[in-house]
Chain A
Amino acid sequence: MAITMAQALNTALHDAMAEDDRVVMFGEDVGTLGGVFRITDKLQERFGDKRCFDTPLAESAIVGSAVGMALYGYKPVVEMQFDGFTYPAFEQIVSHVAKMRNRSRGKVTLPITIRIPFGGGIGAVEHHSESPENFFAHVAGLKVVTPGTPSDGYSLLRESITAPDPVIFFEPKRRYWLKEDADLPTQTEPIGRAVVRREGTTATLFAYGPMVKTCVEAASAAEDEGWDLEVVDLRSLNPFDAATVVDSVRKTGHAVVVHEAQVFSGFGAELAAQVAERAFYHLEAPVLRVGGFDIPYPAAKLEEFFLPDVDRILDAVERSLAF
């Protein structure tokens, strides 16, 4: 059956809340409205307003109160309405969500899932198209996960909610309407495992979240050039699946990492360093990074000039192969 990413995420929330009554879902407009992207649709209707509820408009409080509710014994799932509105909660996430277990010497665990729709490509106004994943990938104590397919949307979200550690769950909002033939419930590879989406031998494209689809499209287009590209979906930035990444580089010898976030100090830098440290002699060329330019996310009519696309990706592949 064809399902969208949005349906998969919504079903995952329904199933998680049905399975465990300690799971609660809250944030801005997630109750009556069902979320601005409808990811929490009908949760309040089904589970009541103590399990799924609208909060006042305050991101720090949404995350900070989730810490208190987790200490009480709940498993909070909270929604940051948009990537660019996550920053008021940054202190609570970095100073408490990530660190409290360590600070308590393991006496406290915080099974919190923070859902963040992220990335561009939907023609939105400023602050609605950002890719802040690397801020969080840098913080010890957090897991940072992002699905590239509807099946992964379901399975990774279920696992994030069950996981005893806090998870920052980035939802690729331009892929909310991406369809896949899949039956729910489904269980895919666990958090921390990268997956080869398309096998190939010429070069490897590494991507996550919204860029997985773009990379698969780039690989199809590359067939015209006679290139057989491998596409690896990282799925989880922290923990990072170095083994799968290195295996692919050993096979192809060429690595291009793709994300929407600006290239400078982005996650691609970490991947490039990991590959250099672990597979230096297997590389035929330097790891190349493809991403947004090192500028603020532009106005909607200009975003096509900012976002990586098939051409920018294949241009990088060409440079790698020509090295």
Chain B
Amino acid sequence: MSAASNPPQSVPGPVDPNTLLPPDEPVQLLDDQGTLHEVEGFPLDLKDEDFRNLYRYMVLARRVDKQAINLQRQGQLGVYASLLGQEAAQIGGAYALDEQDWVFPSYREMGAALVRGVDPGKVLHLFRGTWLSNHDPMATHFGLLSIPIGTQALHAAGFAMGAKFDGKDLVVMTYFGDGATSEGDPHEAMNFAAVYDAPCIFFVQNNQYAISVPLSKQTRAPTIAHKAVGYGMPGFRCDGNDVLATYAVARQAVDRARRGEGPSLIEALTYRMEAHTTADDPTRYRTPEELEEWKRRDPIARFETFLEAEGLLDDDFRAQIDEEARGYAARMREEIYDAPHGDPMELFEHVYVDPPASYEEQKAMLRREIASNQEGGS
């Protein structure tokens, strides 16, 4: 057959775009009163223990977040990016993953970090400035916190491509925000993941603002989830303050990826109840009424109502979580409070496996400077 006889292609695959579109209404399993409703296509496979565990992670995340903010207020951290209000989105998503799976986070993912077993105190070294990073991504399967917006999505896509080519049962989830969907890298990442059927979940926490800029100034798309269709992958949309919805939607996306059916985009509608970071003043760009409205939709309070009605939440369990949270907070203070910076000579240690000869000269210079400061300074 000659090339000329090939018909022009518009859509390369057999996918009906209508099957990829998000539903008109975001998936919600727990309504605002905490009553559970079944939603077709998003069954819950959770046991009582899982319900309690989801709650536990959410409460721990909020307490860890509060401790981090306090450490910043006390001058122990230079800055901190709070997740307050986004606990359900992060934790529901990460809870759908298995141990061998990987997460590629942005800098606001302390909730997902907890689910992956990452020590929050270690993460805070980034914000204190003792180290650029101080947890082990290889051991925890939790990537380094990525600060340039959306760039980690490509690392996730590449990792998932690697797993796919290697025939491994492994799913990758990357988190980014609504603002990141205007950057190029997440789009290139979605396209790559889709082209190679890579097991990669793009989990967007749409917290309504990119620092001060609202979503309405970020995109003209009907929703963020619609963007998935352009890449031939399904776009899911859910109530991000409903942990059962974020879990159930993530479950579908993860199972799909594990079956070899490729990537998905999830848009979880949520709200950043704190400032962008501790250096930000949100009163300059949003109203107290808006904040109050979202406080009424608090993800933890809603889930609590449900658990109480189900008889899954008693004083013993609350006390147990409280004790665990105190332990976390204490260890964070221990790790961070007045933590000295590392050995300056280590600055040269990790840049290269095989460093240039010039490093020896520069290390000698730094050693002399340190020695002379110690002599003159004290």
Known: A64-B155, A67-B154, A68-B162. A55 touches B192 (CB 8 A): yes
Whether the Cβ atoms of A69 and B159 lie closer than 8 Å is yes
Check if B158 sits within 8 Å of A68, measured CB to CB: yes
- Please tell me if B319 contacts chain A, counting CB pairs below 8 Å: no
Decide: A58 near B350, CB < 8 A? Known: A68-B158, A72-B159, A103-B144.
Answer: no
B162 touches A64 (CB 8 A): no
B161 within 8 A of A: yes
Query: Among the interface residues B134, B166, B195, B356, which one has the most CB atoms of the partner chain A within 10 A?
Result: B356
**B23 CB within 8 Å of chain A:** no
Chain B window 344-367, contacts with chain A (Cβ cutoff 8 Å), 1 for yes, 0 for no = 001001111110111000000000
A240 to B352, CA, bound (A): 14
Whether, in the assembled complex, A210 has its beta carbon less than 8 Å from a beta carbon of chain B, the answer is no
B155 contacts A104, C-beta separation under 8 Å: no
Contact with B along A192-216 (1 / 0, CB 8 A): 1000000000000000000000000
Q: How many contacts between A and B, using CB within 8 angstroms?
A: 139
Cα distance, A288 to B64, chains bound together (Å): 60
User: Is the CB of A141 closer than 8 A to any CB of chain B?
Assistant: yes
Stretch of A94-102, A279-287, A307-315 at the chain-chain interface: A94-102
Of B49-57, B181-189, B290-298, the one touching chain A: B181-189
The reply on A163 being an interface residue by CB < 8 A is: yes
B154 touching A61, Cβ below 8 Å: yes
**Segment 144-178 of B: residues with Cβ below 8 Å from A:** 144, 146, 148, 151, 153-163, 165-166, 172
Within 8 A of B (CB), among A57-89: 58, 60-61, 63-74, 88
Q: Does B188 lie within 8 Å of A61, measured CB to CB?
A: yes
**Which of A106-114, A116-124, A173-181, A254-262 makes up part of the contact surface?**
A106-114
CB distance A65 to B158 under 8 Å? yes
Look across to chain B and name the residue whose beta carbon is closest to the beta carbon of A164: B353
B4 within 8 A of A: no
Is B155 in contact with A56, judged by CB distance below 8 angstroms? Answer: no
B172's nearest neighbour on chain A, judged by CB, is A68
Q: What's the tally of chain B residues with a CB closer than 8 Å to chain A? A: 44
- What are the residues of chain B within 8 A of A105 when measuring CB–CB? 131-134, 346, 349-350
Partner of A61, one of B138, B172, B191, B346: B191
A257 nearest CB across to chain B (Å): 18
Q: A61-B185, A64-B154, A192-B356 are in contact. Are A103 and B162 (CB under 8 A)?
A: no
Taken together as a complex, chains A and B put the C-alpha atoms of A71 and B143 apart, in Å, by 9
Decide yes or no whether B136 CB sits under 8 A from chain A. Answer: yes
Interchain CB contact under 8 A, A101 and B154: no
Contact partners of A66 in chain B: CB under 8 A: 158
Determine if B137 is an interface residue (Cβ-Cβ < 8 Å): yes
- A151 to B166, alpha carbons, bound, how many Å? 33
CB distance from B352 to the nearest CB of A (A): 5
CB distance from A8 to the nearest CB of B (A): 23
CB distance from A32 to the nearest CB of B (A): 13
Given contacts A61-B192, A69-B161, A95-B148, contact A240 B154 (CB under 8 A): no
Secondary structure at chain B's binding surface: helix, strand, loop or mixed? helix
Q: How far is the CB of B328 from chain A (nearest CB, A)?
A: 23
B157 touching A50, Cβ below 8 Å: no
Asked if A239 is an interface residue, CB under 8 A from chain B, the answer is yes
**For residue A104, which residues in chain B have a CB less than 8 angstroms away from its CB?**
133, 136-137, 144, 350
CB of A69 within 8 A of CB of B158, answer yes
B138–A107 contact, CB under 8 A?
yes
**A77 CB to nearest chain B CB (Å):** 14
Contact of B137 among A70, A74, A91, A108 (CB under 8 A): A108
Among A58, A70, A163, A239, which residue has its beta carbon within 8 angstroms of that of B188? A58
Flag whether A140 is at the interface (Cβ < 8 A).
yes
| Residues B184 and A60 in contact, CB atoms below 8 Å apart | yes
Return the chain A residue nearest B133 by Cβ. Answer: A103
Residue of A nearest to B194 (CB): A56
Residue of chain A at shortest CB distance from B170: A72
Q: Is the CB–CB distance between B351 and A91 below 8 Å? A: no
Interface membership of chain A positions 239-277, coded 1 if the CB is closer than 8 angstroms to chain B and 0 otherwise? 110100000000000000000000000000000000000
Residues of A within 8 A of B172 (CB): 68
CA distance A164 to B188 in the complex (A): 27
Determine if A68 and B159 form an interchain contact, defined as CB atoms under 8 angstroms apart.
Answer: yes
**Do B350 and A65 touch (CB < 8 A)?**
no
Query: Are A101 and B188 in contact, CB atoms less than 8 angstroms apart?
Result: no
Is the beta-carbon distance between B191 and A58 smaller than 8 angstroms? yes
Q: B357 to chain A: which residues have CB within 8 Å?
A: 192, 239, 242
A238 within 8 A of B: yes
Residues of A within 8 A of B354 (CB): 163-165
**At the interface, yes or no: A92 with Cβ under 8 Å from chain B?**
yes
Cα-based distance from A282 to B215 in the complex (angstroms): 64
Q: Bound complex: CA of A282 vs CA of B349, how far in Å? A: 34
Residue of A nearest to B350 (CB): A106
Contacts A61-B154, A64-B158, A141-B351 given; indicate if A107 touches B185 (C-beta within 8 A).
Answer: no
CB contact between A91 and one of B133, B148, B158, B161 (< 8 Å): that residue = B148
Residues A15-61 near B (CB distance < 8 A):
24, 50, 55-56, 58, 60-61
- How far, in whole Å, are A223 and B236 apart by their CA atoms in the complex? 73
Compute how far the CA of A166 lies from the CA of B143 in the bound complex, rounded to whole angstroms: 19
A-B contact pairs, 17 of them (CB 8 A): A56-B191, A61-B154, A61-B185, A65-B161, A67-B154, A68-B162, A91-B185, A92-B185, A100-B144, A102-B351, A103-B133, A104-B136, A105-B131, A105-B346, A238-B356, A239-B358, A240-B358
Given contacts A64-B189, A71-B143, A101-B351, 8 further A-B contacts (CB under 8 A): A56-B191, A61-B191, A65-B189, A92-B151, A96-B151, A101-B353, A104-B136, A240-B356
Identify the B interface with A (CB < 8 A): 104, 131-134, 136-138, 143-144, 146, 148, 151, 153-163, 165-166, 172, 184-185, 188-189, 191-192, 195, 346, 349-354, 356-358
